[in-house]
Chains A and B, each alone.
Chain A
């Protein structure tokens, strides 16, 4: 599916203008054709989108800092650390509370089971190093792993992110392919157990 670019609307044009310092240089053809975005500019815009869209909140592990939890940028966007040994999630009492997160904010337990945030760095074996832009776009559009497999689980906000334009997704992917590699094999999600399913009652 192709999504139309929204940059023709005044509102988004305004937003794009406000983001200009993060976008970097672009080249506008004198002919009036669509501006040619350099790869560097695309990645710069991707960095901006990743920063303000909350990707770090879950995909960069948290560590405890002097003022409380903070993202550990030495493991930037590398997902749930494979070295973290997790105990089974606690059973929640009946009531309105349904979600538990690990101290790193990278493992989440809820009615869907236990999900682990993905390694978004370009490591070929454990991250997005072998992914293509199409793999990435298909994943966000369909909410399925690699666009065709198992469901991408909460808290990944697919119902909102699926509305990114093609250009935004291309920018995000360009940025993710440019960040430092972190080798980190994230575990497979765990199906619901009586413990996690209890939260749905």
Chain B
């Protein structure tokens, strides 16, 4: 076909629009955007030191913020992470639905990201109307405090140890893109993630410290109610045939399953990488939606999600190897390939029988 060349000057609105999209920010906030937080929610403090994570006047974490460590962490370009859960006094999580815990109003979850030093601390909070809000605090250079980041995030924050020296603070929309793709926006605190039966082969995993709460601790403290007795008698575990398969399924659960599941807004893709907490893992859902399954996007010149025995022909691993924003997976929150996670998934695919 013929190409028509339009010479469009930089000054036109289209290009301003394009530039704003590429920069990830920069457009004025219009009035209609102000309804993101209910009127009943008070504004967050500008300083992390005033936000309830620390003991007043110190960097010591308050005792009512309970540290925890998921067994299958999300890859964050090698950042070291610390996490805490806060539940308002007298409240508890309802685990009636084992894969969709109901968190009380006022729940807060904190996650601190460190490279050479602490860079960012994120907050997820459940509001009185049941909705969730998201925020990020950016640490200052001397580590004395952190300031509330703008809702549009920071596209490039200079940070030692970040890829190319540039760290990305996510926008609130990006927070929602990941956290609101699953049944519950809390992704790293679930029966499977807090299981006492931890996977020794989980990539990038941190050891659980003795003071960190797990599933049984939360129940014993009365902070988690209505847990299935079966999950307490036999700790949640991905009951796979090999250590590689167990770790691979756990890795995909944590890094992919919050979007790729059969309950959220991307269910129509019929790609299920989320593992249920109760009982044995439903391996069939994962296998049926990946092995020899056509890829919807046909990106990277590959048309099959997983080709048994051939990771080089599988779009799953091709997307993990990509860090082009048009093709990479996960699509946000990472600028570096997770070599350890990629090697695990490649081993898993190699072991699958054609």
With A150-B327, A189-B326 in contact, is A138–B21 under 8 Å at CB? no
A189 to B324, CA, bound (A): 11
A191 to B8, CA, bound (A): 21
> Contact between B177 and A148 (Cβ–Cβ < 8 Å)?
yes
With A98-B15, A101-B6, A103-B1 in contact, is A191–B327 under 8 Å at CB? yes
With A96-B10, A138-B265, A163-B30 in contact, is A155–B18 under 8 Å at CB? yes
Pick the contact of A3: B15, B33, B268, B325 (CB < 8 A).
B33
Once A and B bind, how many residue pairs between them come within 8 Å at the CB atom?
Answer: 140
Q: How near does chain A come to B15, taking the closest CB pair, in angstroms? A: 7
B311 interface residue (CB < 8 Å to A): no
> Contact between B8 and A99 (Cβ–Cβ < 8 Å)?
yes
Interface string of B161-181 (1 = CB under 8 A from A): 000000000001110111001
Q: For A162, what are the chain B residues with a Cβ–Cβ distance below 8 Å?
A: 33
> Contact between A89 and B3 (Cβ–Cβ < 8 Å)?
yes
With A3-B35, A86-B1 in contact, is A146–B17 under 8 Å at CB? no
Q: For B1, what are the chain A residues with a Cβ–Cβ distance below 8 Å?
A: 84-86, 102-104
Choose the segment among A22-30, A110-118, A176-184 that binds chain B (4+ C-beta atoms closer than 8 Å): A110-118
> Contact between A97 and B7 (Cβ–Cβ < 8 Å)?
yes
A195 interface residue (CB < 8 Å to B): no
Choose the segment among A13-21, A32-40, A42-50, A127-135 that binds chain B (4+ C-beta atoms closer than 8 Å): A127-135
Q: For A111, what are the chain B residues with a Cβ–Cβ distance below 8 Å?
A: 18, 22
> Contact between A103 and B265 (Cβ–Cβ < 8 Å)?
no
> Contact between A153 and B35 (Cβ–Cβ < 8 Å)?
no
> Contact between B8 and A1 (Cβ–Cβ < 8 Å)?
no
A69 to B299, CA, bound (A): 31
Closest residue to B33 on the A side, CB-wise? A163
> Contact between B32 and A4 (Cβ–Cβ < 8 Å)?
yes
Closest residue to B332 on the A side, CB-wise? A144
A188 interface residue (CB < 8 Å to B): yes
A134 to B268, CA, bound (A): 12
Pick the contact of B17: A97, A141, A147, A160 (CB < 8 A).
A160
Q: For A90, what are the chain B residues with a Cβ–Cβ distance below 8 Å?
A: 3, 5
> Contact between B266 and A142 (Cβ–Cβ < 8 Å)?
no
Q: For B30, what are the chain A residues with a Cβ–Cβ distance below 8 Å?
A: 163
Closest residue to B34 on the A side, CB-wise? A4
Q: How near does chain B come to A113, taking the closest CB pair, in angstroms? A: 7
B230 interface residue (CB < 8 Å to A): no
> Contact between A154 and B173 (Cβ–Cβ < 8 Å)?
no
With A99-B15, A147-B177, A163-B30 in contact, is A153–B21 under 8 Å at CB? yes
B309 interface residue (CB < 8 Å to A): no
Q: For A87, what are the chain B residues with a Cβ–Cβ distance below 8 Å?
A: 3
With A3-B33, A100-B5, A163-B30 in contact, is A150–B265 under 8 Å at CB? no
A151 to B2, CA, bound (A): 28
Residue with the greatest number of chain A CB neighbours at <10 A, chosen from B21, B172, B325: B21
Residue with the greatest number of chain B CB neighbours at <10 A, chosen from A4, A148, A154, A164: A148
A66 interface residue (CB < 8 Å to B): no
With A141-B173, A147-B177, A148-B331 in contact, is A159–B21 under 8 Å at CB? yes
Closest residue to A107 on the B side, CB-wise? B3
A146 to B31, CA, bound (A): 25
> Contact between A103 and B4 (Cβ–Cβ < 8 Å)?
yes
Closest residue to A144 on the B side, CB-wise? B177
Q: How near does chain B come to A59, taking the closest CB pair, in angstroms? A: 15
B36 interface residue (CB < 8 Å to A): yes
Residue with the greatest number of chain B CB neighbours at <10 A, chosen from A2, A147, A153, A162: A147
Tell me the chain B residues, 6-44 only, with Cβ under 8 Å from chain A: 6-10, 14-15, 17-18, 20-22, 27, 30-36
A149 interface residue (CB < 8 Å to B): yes
A71 interface residue (CB < 8 Å to B): no
With A159-B20, A189-B326 in contact, is A1–B3 under 8 Å at CB? no
Pick the contact of B32: A89, A132, A143, A165 (CB < 8 A).
A165
With A97-B9, A99-B15, A150-B331 in contact, is A113–B326 under 8 Å at CB? yes
A164 to B5, CA, bound (A): 31
A188 to B324, CA, bound (A): 13
> Contact between A157 and B14 (Cβ–Cβ < 8 Å)?
yes
B96 interface residue (CB < 8 Å to A): no
A150 to B329, CA, bound (A): 9
Q: For B32, what are the chain A residues with a Cβ–Cβ distance below 8 Å?
A: 3-4, 6, 163-165
Q: How near does chain B come to A71, taking the closest CB pair, in angstroms? A: 15
Given contacts A86-B3, A99-B6, 16 further A-B contacts (CB under 8 A): A2-B35, A97-B7, A99-B8, A100-B5, A111-B22, A132-B268, A138-B265, A149-B259, A151-B326, A153-B21, A154-B18, A157-B14, A157-B17, A164-B32, A189-B326, A191-B326
Interface residues of B (CB under 8 A from A): 1-10, 14-15, 17-18, 20-22, 27, 30-36, 172-174, 176-178, 181, 259, 265-266, 268, 297-299, 324-327, 331-332
10 A-B contact pairs sorted by A residue (CB < 8 Å): A3-B33, A102-B4, A103-B1, A134-B265, A135-B265, A144-B177, A149-B259, A155-B17, A159-B21, A191-B324
- Please give me the 3 A-B residue pairs with the lowest Cβ-Cβ distance, nearest first: A154-B18, A130-B268, A4-B35
